[in-house]
Structure 1
Amino acid sequence: MNALKNYLLVFCLLVGFQVFAQKPNLDVPYVPTKQAVVDAMLDLAGVKAGDIHYDLGCGDGRIAISAAKRGATSTGVDLDPERIKEANENAKEAGVTDKVNFIQGNLFDFDFSKADVLTLYLLPQVNLKLRPKILEELKPGTRIVSHAFDMGDWEPEKTITVDGSTIFLWTVPNR
């Protein structure tokens, strides 16, 4: 009986490790943003029809979908294939598949240089690592909005609190 228990334990551990090994190495845990915060982020950035919007670490797609509903062309990027699948399902349900696109990929390797607006809900160390790419690749005037986390010593132009969440706004300066 002990041999069977040991066998089952080893089997379960091996299966668990195999499932774990197949998951991408995520820098940021998935935590959905409340819709009131999403709306405030997009309001703060002034998202409007015709804007090109990118949401880095898009999760279930709610920010990109909300931007698309405002008339922006929106792209969400996430490393987690489950989140991308969920985001595509949510876009279909919202009727915005013609205005939004979700891509599984690493945001550090992704070209978001055409953005008019960039939204983030990442972690402080990820924002700091991303900041040089933002400042080098985005055109001056691009609006950056982050939920909860700042960009170190890059002072935001505006900071607001909505529903207990802090939201930061920056604009990419002239070079």
Structure 2
Amino acid sequence: MSEYSAQASSEDKINGTVTGDNVRKRLGIIATCVVGGSLVALYAVAGPFVAPALRKICLPYVPATSVQVENVLKVLQQRSGSLVDIGSGDGRIVIAAAKRGFRAVGFELNPWLVWYSRYRAWKEGVHHSTSFYISDLWKVSFAQYSNVVIFGVPQMMEQLEDKLGKELQSSARVVACRFPFPSWVPDDMAGEGIDTVWVYDAKTFQSKVQINQTEK
């Protein structure tokens, strides 16, 4: 092999190595961009669903189990009229209640969940008997509703006791899921463990409030 050929062969190897390194670097950059972009997109879509809605008291989005939904419907099976789900999440309680004949309404501060609930109601064919509103529960009056469902957290239950006690009509019924109210004595219960629901009739807790006020 001539000296020129040997030099050319050596240069080809060097150029090939450099070219290979450049290709690998470019592929690495592209892969990083793809993965990073995918994570950003995933967060943009999923973030609003899993992040707590901004409320006076943080009420995280935790979907109701199918057993919880059935327990709610079970304790309301002899009831009729309007139903409101406070902090309605993805709308499953409202949609299930509408299928049982209730005129059902959901209040939820997270707009993504409200839009998703509306889509689910349309898909399930109950959009004419359901409504979903973007609203803070503390700024809404529940006086017009016959049945109230709440998936709350312990930090909010005492304040909610006071609010519902003042607003609801004596014929109303309240169903608390996951956590009971701190002062009210339930009129009924269904389920067990995390799927337990507590039933409170307004005439019961309102009469006790009146008795306490009289004694004072």
Alignment CA distance shift 1:93-1:144 (3 Å):
same
* CA RMSD between the two structures: 2.1
The aligned amino acid for 1:149 is F
* Higher strand content, 1 or 2: 1
1:43 aligns to what SS in structure 2?
Answer: helix
Match of 1:172 in 2: 202
Q: Quick check: 1:64–1:76 contact (8 Å CA) kept in 2?
A: yes
Give the equivalent residue in structure 2 for 1:25.
54
Aligned residues: 155
1:63 equivalenced with 2:126 (yes/no)? no
Question: TM-score scaled by structure 2?
Answer: 0.66
Q: Give per-residue Cα distances to partners, 1:11-62, cap 9 Å, x unaligned.
A: xxxxxxxx99xx85242110000122112112112365x5100000000000
What is the distance in 1 between the residues matched to 2:158 and 2:193?
Answer: 25
Percentage identity across aligned positions?
A: 26
Q: Letter of the aligned partner of 1:144 in structure 2?
A: V
Aligned partners of 2:72, 2:188: CA distance in 1, in Å? 11
**Structure 1 or 2: more helix by fraction:** 2
Please list every run of 5 or more consecutive structure 1 residues that lacks an aligned counterpart in the other structure: 1-18
1:76 lines up with 2:98 in the alignment: no
Structure 2 partner of 1:3: none
Amino acid at match of 1:28: L
Q: Is the 8 A contact 1:40 1:162 kept in 2?
A: no
- Are 2:87 and 2:151, in contact at CA under 8 Å, matched by a contact in 1? yes
TM-score by length of 1: 0.81
Deviations 1:73-128 (A, max 9, x none): 01100111111011111101110000000000011111221111000101012121
Q: Counterpart amino acid of 2:62?
A: V
Which one has more relative contact order, counting CA pairs under 8 Å at least 6 apart? Answer: 1
Matching residue of 2:136: 106
The CA deviation at 1:160 is 2.4
C-alpha separation between the residues in 2 aligned to 1:128 and 1:141?
Answer: 21
Instruction: Call closer, same or farther: CA 1:86–1:163 in 2, change over 3 Å.
Output: farther
Q: Report the equivalent of 1:45.
A: 76
SS at structure 2 position matched to 1:108: helix
Segment of structure 1 superposing worse, 124-133 or 137-146: 124-133
What are the within-5 Å matches in structure 2 for residues 83-94 of structure 1?
83-94=113-124
